[in-house]
Amino acid sequence: MTRTYVDVSREGPLTILTINRPEAHNALNAESHLELQAVFDDFAADDAQWVAIITGAGSRAFCAGHDLKQQAAGGGLDLPAKGFAGLTSRFDLAKPVIAAVNGVAMGGGFEIALACDLVIAASNAVFALPEPRVGLAALGGGIQRLPRAIGFHRAMELMLTGRRVTAAEGLALGFVNEVVEGDVLDAARCWAATILEGSPMSVRATKEAALRGLDTPLADGIREQFSYPAMQAMLASQDAVEGPAAFAAKRLPQWKGR
């Protein structure tokens, strides 16, 4: 698939996706949604890629959400099967995704961040779900994810008013992991590097069990986790042998991801 609005680079087992519509504050039109979905499909299917970072081009915006100019011109609100940016309805992705929020994250841009596993934000980043102010609603998962992330009443405050939240407030509320004064992408790379020190099989098993556990009673989650696909793959993997062997030999493990 030819890409116009998404840049992709790979640094070993790390995939970096950059939304590249800076002239539109990286708002997503129909074509960019499909491009992102295809890129995430490739990432999910590539056994050599273990962690992804998503960010925006330029220094002003991570993603300003849905392209309202396209909608005003009759473009509609249709989203790809995997949701906003091909990510927000991708519930089967066990590989971790980090948001490197380099500026404005409005509407769908905030929803992309909420769909990620870690959110690293530049100090100038701003988050909001302002859809009610333009006659819409946060249909890319924001309505469901924000209350889970910060609690019902705080989430309702932000969703009903469309109030903007700074990176520092996002850190205090709990949906931001780190606020960065320097290069937010470099900071996200450091987080990715730390994750990559662990077995990708273990990381995927952990993410899968944690996500399923959100909607599962505690006792059921503890019992059922052994039947989850990523957990079974981890337990049967070469990495499950390599980890204890490396620990016993006092050496760094050589992860195979299988």
Q: What would the pLDDT profile of 170-227 be if each residue is shown by its tens digit? A: 999 999 999 999 999 999 999 999 999 999 999 999 999 999 999 999 999 999 999 9
Q: Is the pLDDT of residue 16 over 90?
A: yes
Q: Give the residue-averaged pLDDT of 120-139.
A: 95
Q: Which of 111, 178, 181, 197 is catalytic?
A: 111
Encoded tokens for 212: 């399923």
**Mean residue pLDDT across the chain:** 95
Beta strands in the chain (DSSP E): 6-11, 14-19, 51-56, 61-63, 97-101, 104-106, 118-122, 126-128, 165-166, 178-180
Helix (H) or strand (E) holding 163: none
Cβ atoms 109, 170 nearer than 8 A? no
C-alpha atoms less than 13 angstroms from C-alpha of 173 in its C-beta half-sphere: 24
- 169 assigned to active site: no
Of the candidates 59, 67, 73, the one whose C-alpha atom is nearest the C-alpha of residue 123 is 59
Q: How confident is the model at residue 75 (pLDDT cuts 50, 70, 90)?
A: low
Q: Give the residue-averaged pLDDT of 79-90.
A: 95
Do strands 165-166 and 126-128 pair parallel, antiparallel, or not at all (unpaired)?
A: antiparallel
- 35 assigned to active site: no
Encoded tokens for 256: 């195979």
- The fraction of the chain above a pLDDT of 90, given in percent, is 92
Q: How much is the pLDDT for 73?
A: 58
Dihedral sign (CA 58, 123, 114, 154): negative
Q: Give the residue-averaged pLDDT of 105-125.
A: 98
Q: Which of 11, 23, 31, 131 is catalytic?
A: 131
Of the candidates 63, 70, 80, 90, the one whose C-alpha atom is nearest the C-alpha of residue 6 is 63
Q: Give the residue-averaged pLDDT of 117-126.
A: 98
Give the Cα-Cα-Cα angle 117, 237, 223 (nearest 5 degrees).
Answer: 65
Report the interhelical angle of 239-249 vs 200-213 (nearest 10°): 120
State the Cα–Cα distance between residues 162 and 131, nearest whole angstrom: 7
Q: How remote is the C-alpha of 63 from its chain's centroid? A: 13
Q: Burial letters for 208-222: b for 16+ Cβ neighbours within 10 Å, e otherwise?
A: bbebbeeeeeeeebe
Q: How confident is the model at residue 126 (pLDDT cuts 50, 70, 90)?
A: very high
Q: Is the pLDDT of residue 72 over 80?
A: no
Which residues touch 73 (CB under 8 Å, ≥6 apart)?
Answer: none
The correct answer on CATH 3.90.226.10 for the domain covering 6-195 is: yes
- CA-CA-CA-CA dihedral for 94, 32, 120, 96, to nearest 10: 10
Residues in the chain: 258
Q: Where are the domains of the chain?
A: 6-195, 200-249
State the Cα–Cα distance between residues 222 and 217, nearest whole angstrom: 9
